[in-house]
Every structure is written in structure tokens, then in C-alpha cells.
Structure 1
């Protein structure tokens, strides 16, 4: 189910807007400490608290406009609520920083489970975007499974050994750039295993 058509700019704004907003708010508030109910909260925690409803609203609007959310979007929102909520509730930024790790581990494990069953779950999610032969889907799924596990390890290394500011920039730009670069490196696979549409 692909959902209703939507202006690509609107779709991008709804998907990336909360992330960009998080970055801007963090840069603005990172040095500040807020006392709420007798408890001190660093700017990162306050920004995280604001990010959760913004993410929910943006995802809700996207769902309203398209009538559809893919599984990755749903899982991401659920983990944002869980780990972001834990960070705010416990006043501990580690939980939110672990969120990308959990996302990539879950995606990697899901794709890996499909591979063990001789299936490419990736094909179910992306077949409409990239028509590939079955062998191509299996190769891409194996590579992406390993890549997701690598990103999970990398996120853990960054947030555990570097500053919060470094992690925010890594999460906003580094992870996005890494995924973009990964698919760029698969150009040969798309060429060799792509399915030409006779209607084109």
C-alpha cells in the first residue's frame, strides 16, 4: 500500500522538519539549565521533551495526508516516544542517545531474520521504489543488514566516547550522510539486477 500522492517538498518537510528543529533548538539551548518543579534539566533534555510531540504531530499529519505510514516510520516514532520519554522522565540523556542504536539493531535483526528464512523483507518495503530481481534483493538485504549493525555500533561508540554536541551533529548529519553514501555505493547492483519497465 503506497498511500495517496503528496507533494515531495511537503513530505520531506514533515519527515526532516522535526530533526532539523531538534538541531536548531539544541544549538540555541545547549548551554542553558532549566529548573522545573525543583529539578534542574539541561537544554538537551528540554529539547528532547519538545521533540517528542513535534515528531508525533508531523507523523500524524503525514499519515493524514497520505493515508499510510511504512513500518520503519512507525517503529521510529515508537522508539522516539519510549527512549525520549525515558530520558525526560529520568532526566538522563543516555536513553535518547541509545535510540538510534535500538532502531538500527531492530532493522538489522528484522532483515537478518528474513534472510535466515530465505526472504528479503527489504523487498516488501522498497519494491515500488527500486524494482530488482530476487537475487538483487537478497544481495542488497545482506549488505544493508551488515550496514545497520555497523551503524548501531558506531552510534554507541560516538555517544559513549564523545560530547553531546558531537553526537547531535553525528545523528543529524553523519547518519543521514552514511545511509545516502551506502545507497550510492550500490549503483552497480541496481544496474546489474534492476528490472526494466517495458512501459518506460
Structure 2
């Protein structure tokens, strides 16, 4: 019976993981676009409401990850730790510039942190993924650089977009980059990963 239930439970677990990881950013976008439509607040205050919702749902997502999946949901955790102070600033001063700056700061911290760790001879990705992703030793520093440059580029792009575009465009960019950005980067890195993958050891038959 256990073999019959495994295929059914795996997709359910994947859906739960996606809901926990991406639920807060989806709630953020939905709040921004629905608040003025539902007449809760004017469009000028929608981003303030959305930043508060993002902080609250991020905390909820972290708790659900611990309770339901027995894991730390890193994306919501980072959003909660850095998002709550910026959300408070946004609400107190009624200025959405704080929540826009947060995305730049987070991206720069991640990208810069990866490069700094690499400079000290550390391989953070190997520490996190080494048990599930078997790569040649020389590939881990390059993978770290690729991800660091990606996050730094996202920080630069965020600065350009929020300073030159409307709130609607920026919110759409934020949702698309947080959800689709890492997926597109992973797809782009598939040739590199396949080239540097360590093949599993082939089992030789035992002589009887």
C-alpha cells in the first residue's frame, strides 16, 4: 500500500512546498492589484498595504514550513527578517520607497555575500546542495559566481525599474523576477551542470 500512495503524496508535497515558498509574493501582488479594485484603499496606498501583507504572510509561511514540512523555508524567512523592518518603515512613513529599496538591498546582500564567501575559500552552494547535486570540485566556485552575478544584476535592474517605471510595472517585475528569475537561471545553467556532473559509480557484478 505504501508504494501506491507514494506517487500521490509526492505531487501534494511539491504543491505544498511551492505554496509555502511563493505564497507570500503572490499575496503581495494580489493585495496590490485588488486593494483599489475592492475599494479598500486608493491606488496610491496599495503598495503600503501590500508590503504589510508580504511581511505577515512571510512569517506565516516560515511557521507552516516548520510545522508541515519540518524545514526552514529560506525564501519566506529572508522576506520576513528583512521585510518586517521595511514594512514598518513603509507603513509608518506611508512611503513605498522603502519596500522598493528592500529588493535592491536583499539582492546585493545575497550576491555580495556569495562573492565574499568565495573570496574566503568557502563554497556555500556545495554546503547546501552537495548532498543532492554531485558536481566536480572546480564547478562549485563557478556556480557560486553565476548566482552572485545574477543577484547583483537583479539589484541593478530593480533600481532602474522602480526609479523609472510605475508602481504597477515594478510590482509585476518584482513578482516575475522572484518567481521566474531563478527558474530561468536554472534552465540556462543546465548545460553547465550536465557538463560538470559526476556520473554515478557503476556497480560491477560480484564473482560468485
Tell me if TM exceeds 0.5.
Answer: yes
CA apart distance, 1:109: 1.4
1:10 matched residue in structure 2: 16
Structure possessing the higher radius of gyration over alpha carbons? 2
Q: Could you say if the C-alpha distance between residues 141 and 91 of structure 1 is closer, same or farther in structure 2, counting changes exceeding 3 Å?
A: same
Aligned counterparts of 1:13 and 1:198: Cα–Cα separation in 2: 36
- CA RMSD in angstroms, aligned pairs only: 2.5
SS at match of 1:27: helix
What stretches of structure 1 move > 6 A for 4+ residues in a row?
none
2:206 matched residue in structure 1: none
Aligned counterparts of 2:18 and 2:178: Cα–Cα separation in 1: 17
Q: Does 1:89 align with 2:92?
A: yes
* 1:68-102 residue CA offsets vs partner (Å, 9 max, x unmatched): 31655533320111212211121110111112211
1:38 matched residue in structure 2: none
CA apart distance, 1:197: 3.1
Q: Could you say if the C-alpha distance between residues 122 and 99 of structure 1 is closer, same or farther in structure 2, counting changes exceeding 3 Å?
A: same
Q: Alignment length, in residue pairs?
A: 192
Aligned counterparts of 1:169 and 1:47: Cα–Cα separation in 2: 13
**Gapped regions of structure 2 (runs ≥ 5):** 1-9, 204-208
Taking structure 2 as the reference length, what is the TM-score of the superposition? 0.82
SS at match of 1:124: helix
Contact 1:33 1:42 in 2 (8 A): no
Taking structure 1 as the reference length, what is the TM-score of the superposition? 0.85
**Gapped regions of structure 1 (runs ≥ 5):** 36-40
Q: Which structure has greater helix proportion? A: 2
CA apart distance, 1:184: 1.2
